[in-house]
Amino acid sequence: MQYVAPSVCLTAGLGMAVLASRMRRPGLAPRIPRLLLTALVLLGVGLIAKDLVMPYRVFKDVRTREFARTFWTEEGRDAELACVKADLGVEIEPHTWEAGMSAVYLFHQRLYSPRHRAKGPFRLEPDRYTGDHPLRIVLFRDYEADAPAVQGWLAEMGREYTLRDTRSFVVDPAPSKESWLRDAYGVFDFLPHAVATATDRDVAGAEAGRF
């Protein structure tokens, strides 16, 4: 927008000159530039005030931002949080990253995730994952569970990890005709096979001890 500002100012100046030249009352012509300049200043001040009071285009932008702030902070407290795209380099559906809310998702991830903000590397470290601190993978968008790409990714993860829990968060469902604007997160908790087996054994033992 700032690139067209000079053209707008020049055009406005030319318009003021033409308008002033057509004024039949000599005393009114000199006032036209001052009046229009005052109007432009008031318009600029008004736009700045609007941005200060409402620093977003639509309210759903606020909802999206606040959800991301909470999500990337809280979901990483009791798990090793990673993004399937940014950290594992896996694209469930490449088109997802060409349009829609994907850019906003990545921006908020870099802004609110402590590790992403610090540009810290991510490595799969099975020895660090426990029942109380699993590997938590985030997918942007809530894909159908039986989608071939999702099944393929889960099968790949299943070679070394057991899927323990899945959740989904729909931040903005988007209009029916604009599904590409849908803002949703899918969350998958994994444990290494040995840890998952040991955890199940401990749980079974604890339940048996109650009787």
Rounded Cα distance between 84 and 153, Å, is: 10
Rounded Cα distance between 62 and 55, Å, is: 9
State the number of CA atoms in the 13 A half-sphere of 21 facing the CB: 6
Backbone angles phi, psi at 25, to 5 degrees: -95, 115
Rounded Cα distance between 52 and 105, Å, is: 24
pLDDT at position 25: 66
Q: What is the mean pLDDT of each run of 10 residues along the chain (211 residues)?
A: 68 71 67 75 81 70 92 96 96 86 94 95 95 96 85 95 96 78 93 91 59 49
Rounded Cα distance between 17 and 36, Å, is: 11
- The parent domain of residue 22 ranges over 2-53
Residue 80 maps to a domain: yes
The SS3 call for residue 133 is strand
pLDDT at position 71: 97
Question: Does one domain contain both 67 and 170?
Answer: yes
Question: Does one domain contain both 122 and 190?
Answer: yes
CB neighbourhood size of 58 (10 A): 9
pLDDT at position 179: 74
Residue 46 maps to a domain: yes
Rounded Cα distance between 68 and 38, Å, is: 41
Question: Does one domain contain both 49 and 65?
Answer: no
Rounded Cα distance between 59 and 138, Å, is: 25
Contact 176, 144 (CB under 8 A): no
pLDDT at position 89: 94
Question: Does one domain contain both 37 and 92?
Answer: no
Question: Does one domain contain both 158 and 88?
Answer: yes
Q: What is the DSSP letter of 78?
A: S
Residue 164 maps to a domain: yes
Question: Does one domain contain both 21 and 120?
Answer: no
Instruction: Sheet with 161-172: list strands edge to edge.
Output: 80-83, 135-140, 183-192, 161-172
pLDDT at position 6: 74
Question: Does one domain contain both 141 and 180?
Answer: yes
pLDDT at position 175: 79
The SS3 call for residue 1 is coil
Angle separating helix axes 5-21 and 31-53, nearest 10 degrees? 150
